[in-house]
């Protein structure tokens, strides 16, 4: 439809690159509206009503439209003919051409030797969905979870392991042979880090030992490095398990330790660029610009004691990614509170020409999930809630609400419902909005919830299954009958708009909202028409065909959000 308006504008000698036709907010006047005439009037100094009328004169001849009219200061109202809608449905094309563009997505951010907590949820959900959206729209992607696997936290864990098991061969400096297997569980690692971390704050001697241990690791001392690798294996396995539950998969499980290898090379490079300065004993890259309202502090590259920092590794990660993958864009799906930090790193990357001006470094920050009281999510004893515990509580609630008549696979169904619940609730607000976790509300079958979407999708599926049992066929749309039928088809025509908006905003709320609208629209249609009991075969076929398309679109969208649909619920 946008193409048709574009062509008409071209005939009238108006050039527009981006043209938006939206659903009408005056349904009494038309199904869609185009407001561009008023914008054009401004740039071309013409009368908007005249432009709109000239457009109308062209478009009205096209049988695609049932009605074209101009209202108010230049609104163009459009309604589509039945034939055009039927044609649209009978030649459904929901696919996108491959685009020659590589987008690198950084999301997840799990820490080795620490369990994933609720703060990791949004990054995984949003990142995974954005990746799938990119793929669907034809972009190539590489995803990396960017593990926190280096530096002081690991030094602390290693030190505490040594304190508890001084006899391990890993700690014997002159040992040359193979290292025998040792008993380390992820539960142990989870317990060790908080313990060591607290101890380091209270005990200066302990902290010094930890720093020494960190240094040993960074210097690649044989036993320590081997033990670190051991820890990595155990921890990664655990991390993957939870990401699997969330249907979140990465091409790369790289981390800070991989970027670390590029630090010396990068520092060399930076030296040649002549942009590193001394400041209070540290080495920094100034990144403030004359127009900044808030002076952006320089990016710290090297501490006064010679050590490197978070931002150094982050810059090295960009260095590494561009060297190896050379993507057109790198998206960071991280907590929005890190924005300043990333602004510094990005500016440093451009200033040093590590990234070329055409390479987009994108900060896609997200809001926090808070507890139901609106404050940061804590467990009863004040600690950070583990992600598994959160998922389990949702699963338990889902199981409680699951239809009693279903006897088989209750556990796996509850799992699917729980994940859909968490994901849908997480993706419903705009990416940047903070939201409160509310178990009751999210698990409810009423309203904008995962369970409602799943229920409606399953309803479509079982309707089609039942139709098959009756040997009913559905090849095409033959007629449109019923107001809800038309409403449902019109909604389908928004598909492309929704995906593109979502992509541009890098937020999934357009998609979750659209899924809800599809579900309610389908349910209205379903209530209005007793499809399987319809005697008019053409009509029944048309309805079934429509259901099959709606189901297909639903599945596409749920796949993008990484939500599974169970067989029953």
Partner RNA sequence: GUUCUUGUAGCUCAGUUGGAUAGAGCGUACGCCUCCGACGCGUAAGGCCGAGGGUUCGAUUCCCUCCAAGAACACCA
Site for RNA in 154-183 (CB under 7 A): none
Residues of span 116-145 touching RNA by CB under 7 A: none
Residues of span 5-34 touching RNA by CB under 7 A: 18, 20, 24-26, 28-30, 33
Q: Which of 192, 531, 539, 546 binds RNA (CB under 7 A)?
A: 531
* Closest CB 111 distance from RNA, rounded Å: 7
Collapsing DSSP to helix, strand or coil, 250 comes out as: coil
Q: How far apart are CA 326 and CA 387, in angstroms?
A: 33
* Closest CB 514 distance from RNA, rounded Å: 10
388: phi then psi, degrees, rounded to nearest 5: -60, -40
Residues of span 543-562 touching RNA by CB under 7 A: none
Q: Which of 138, 194, 281, 383 binds RNA (CB under 7 A)?
A: 281
Kindly provide the residue ranges of all beta strands, DSSP E only, lying in 342-482, ordered along the sequence. Answer: 360-363, 369-370, 435-436
395: phi then psi, degrees, rounded to nearest 5: -65, -40
CB nearer to RNA: give 13 or 404.
404
Residues of span 332-391 touching RNA by CB under 7 A: 337-341, 374
**Largest Cα–Cα distance in the chain?**
89
Element (H, E) at 401: helix 387-401
What letter does residue 378 receive in the DSSP assignment?
Answer: B
Nearest to 157 by CA among 243, 258, 232, 220: 232
Q: Is 60 in the site for RNA (CB under 7 A)?
A: no
Residues of span 176-235 touching RNA by CB under 7 A: none
Radius of gyration (C-alpha) of the chain in whole angstroms: 29
Residues of span 82-111 touching RNA by CB under 7 A: 111
Q: Which of 92, 119, 307, 371 binds RNA (CB under 7 A)?
A: 307
* Closest CB 172 distance from RNA, rounded Å: 28
CB nearer to RNA: give 249 or 341.
341
Q: Is 432 in the site for RNA (CB under 7 A)?
A: yes
* Closest CB 25 distance from RNA, rounded Å: 5
Look up residue 36 and give its two tokens.
């561009």
CB nearer to RNA: give 142 or 200.
200
**Strand 277-279 and strand 282-285: pairing?**
antiparallel
Q: Is 280 in the site for RNA (CB under 7 A)?
A: yes
Residues of span 248-267 touching RNA by CB under 7 A: 256
Residues of span 441-460 touching RNA by CB under 7 A: 441, 444-448, 451-452, 455, 458-459
Q: What are the helix (H) ranges across 375-508?
A: 387-401, 410-427, 439-443, 450-469, 483-492, 495-505
Residue 279 β-bridge partners: 282
Q: Answer yes or no: are the C-beta atoms of 303 and 327 closer than 8 Å.
A: no
Q: Which of 53, 388, 430, 497 binds RNA (CB under 7 A)?
A: 430
Residue reference for tokens 């809001």 = 367
């Amino acid at each position: 439809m946008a193409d048709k308006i574009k062509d008409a504008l071209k005939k009238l000698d108006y050039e527009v690159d981006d043209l938006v036709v939206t659903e009408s907010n005056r349904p009494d006047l038309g199904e869609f509206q185009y407001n561009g005439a008023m914008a054009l009037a401004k740039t071309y100094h013409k009368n908007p009503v005249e432009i709109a009328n000239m457009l109308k004169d062209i478009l009205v001849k096209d049988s695609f439209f049932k009605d074209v009219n101009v209202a108010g200061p230049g609104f163009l109202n459009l309604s589509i003919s039945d034939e055009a809608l039927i044609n649209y449905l009978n030649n459904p094309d929901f696919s996108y051409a491959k685009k020659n563009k590589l987008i690198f997505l950084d999301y997840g951010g799990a820490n080795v030797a620490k369990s994933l907590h609720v703060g990791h949820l949004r990054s995984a959900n949003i990142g995974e969905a954005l990746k799938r959206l990119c793929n669907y729209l034809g972009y190539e992607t590489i995803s990396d979870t960017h593990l926190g696997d280096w530096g002081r936290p690991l030094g602390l864990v290693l030190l505490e392991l040594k304190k508890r098991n001084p006899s391990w061969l890993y700690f014997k400096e002159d040992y040359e042979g193979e290292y025998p297997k040792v008993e380390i569980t992820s539960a142990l690692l989870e317990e060790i880090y908080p313990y060591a971390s607290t101890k380091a704050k209270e005990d200066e001697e302990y902290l010094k030992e930890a720093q020494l241990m960190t240094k040993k690791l960074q210097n690649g001392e044989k036993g320590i490095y081997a033990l670190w690798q051991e820890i990595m294996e155990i921890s990664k396995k655990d991390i993957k398990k939870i990401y699997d539950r969330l249907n979140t998969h990465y091409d790369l499980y790289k981390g800070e330790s991989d970027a670390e290898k590029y630090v010396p090379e990068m520092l060399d490079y930076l030296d040649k660029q002549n942009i590193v300065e001394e400041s209070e004993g540290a080495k920094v890259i100034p990144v403030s610009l004359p127009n900044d309202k808030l002076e952006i502090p320089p990016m710290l590259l090297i501490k006064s004691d010679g050590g490197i920092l978070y931002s150094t590794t982050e810059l090295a990660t960009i260095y590494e990614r561009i060297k190896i993958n050379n993507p057109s864009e790198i998206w960071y799906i991280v907590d929005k509170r890190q924005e300043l930090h990333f602004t510094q790193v990005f500016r440093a990357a451009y200033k040093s020409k590590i990234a070329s001006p055409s390479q987009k470094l994108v900060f896609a920050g997200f809001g926090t999930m808070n507890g139901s009281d609106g404050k940061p999510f804590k467990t009863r004893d004040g600690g950070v809630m583990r992600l598994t515990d959160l998922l389990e509580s949702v699963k338990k609630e889902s199981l409680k609400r699951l239809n009693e008549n279903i006897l088989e696979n209750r556990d796996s169904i509850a799992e699917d419902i729980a994940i859909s619940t968490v994901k849908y609730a997480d993706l419903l607000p705009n990416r940047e909005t903070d939201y409160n976790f509310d178990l009751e509300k999210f698990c409810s079958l009423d309203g904008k919830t995962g369970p409602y979407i799943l229920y409606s999708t399953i309803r479509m599926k079982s309707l089609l299954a039942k139709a098959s049992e009756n040997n009913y066929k559905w090849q095409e749309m033959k007629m449109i009958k019923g107001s809800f039928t038309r409403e449902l088809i019109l909604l389908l025509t928004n598909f492309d708009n929704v995906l593109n908006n979502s992509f541009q905003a890098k937020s999934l709320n357009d998609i979750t909202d659209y899924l809800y609208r599809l579900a309610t629209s389908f349910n209205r249609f379903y209530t209005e028409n007793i499809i399987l009991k319809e005697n008019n075969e053409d009509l029944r076929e048309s309805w079934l065909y429509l259901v099959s398309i709606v189901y297909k679109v639903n599945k596409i969208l749920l796949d993008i959000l990484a939500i599974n649909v169970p067989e029953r619920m």
